[in-house]
C-alpha cells in the first residue's frame, strides 16, 4: 500500500462527532481524568527513557531519576483516583485478588495467556473481596453512591470513598 492511499483511508475510521466530543470534554471530571491520563503516559515514557539509556546506550541507571518519574506516576494516579473516588489501598487489594485468581500461588505462563476475564471482572467489581489468607476488604459506597470509571460508562462498578472536599 502506498502511504498516500493509507492517509486517505485512515480518516474513514476517525470519530468525527466533534460536537459530542466537545460536549463530553467540558466537564471538570473528564478534564481531570484527561490530565491524569496524559500525565501517566508522559511519565511512563520518561521511565522507559531512563531504562532505554541504561539498556541500549550503556549508561548507568539513574536511580534518582527513575524514582522521580515513578513518583510523578503516583501523582498522576492520585489525581485520577481522587476524581473517580477510589483510593490506592482498594485498588491494590483488588489487583492482588485478581492476580491470585489468575495465577494461584505463583506466575504461570499458560494462565497468563489463558485468562478468565469474567472472573477477574467480578473480583474487581465486588465490594467485599476475599484475599489470600482469608483477609477481606469491605468497601462502603459514599452518600452519592458509586463513582468510578465504570459509572462514566453507565455500568455499576467500584464503590467510592467519601470525598473530603466538595468541588463546585
pLDDT in tens, 19-34: 999 999 999 999 999 9
pLDDT per residue as tens digits for the range 91-101: 999 999 999 99
Range of weakest confidence among 41-45, 59-63, 64-68, 127-131: 127-131
Taking the whole predicted model, whether its pTM rises above 0.75 is answered as no
CB 137 within 8 A of CB 156: no
Amino acid at each position: 500500500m502506498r502511504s498516500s492511499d493509507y492517509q486517505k483511508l485512515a480518516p474513514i475510521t476517525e470519530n468525527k462527532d466533534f460536537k459530542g466530543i466537545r460536549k463530553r470534554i467540558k466537564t471538570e471530571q473528564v478534564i481531570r481524568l484527561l490530565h491524569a491520563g496524559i500525565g501517566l503516559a508522559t511519565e511512563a515514557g520518561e521511565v522507559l527513557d531512563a531504562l532505554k539509556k541504561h539498556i541500549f546506550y550503556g549508561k548507568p541507571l539513574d536511580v534518582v531519576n527513575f524514582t522521580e518519574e515513578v513518583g510523578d506516576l503516583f501523582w498522576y494516579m492520585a489525581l485520577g483516583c481522587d476524581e473517580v473516588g477510589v483510593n490506592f489501598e482498594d485498588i491494590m487489594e483488588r489487583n492482588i485478588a485478581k492476580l491470585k485468581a489468575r495465577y494461584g500461588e505463583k506466575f504461570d505462563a499458560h494462565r497468563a495467556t489463558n485468562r478468565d476475564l469474567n472472573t477477574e471482572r467480578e473480583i474487581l467489581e465486588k465490594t467485599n473481596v476475599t484475599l489470600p489468607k482469608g483477609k477481606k476488604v469491605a468497601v462502603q459506597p459514599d452518600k452519592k453512591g458509586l463513582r468510578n470509571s465504570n459509572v462514566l460508562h453507565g455500568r455499576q462498578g467500584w464503590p467510592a470513598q467519601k470525598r473530603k472536599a466538595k468541588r463546585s
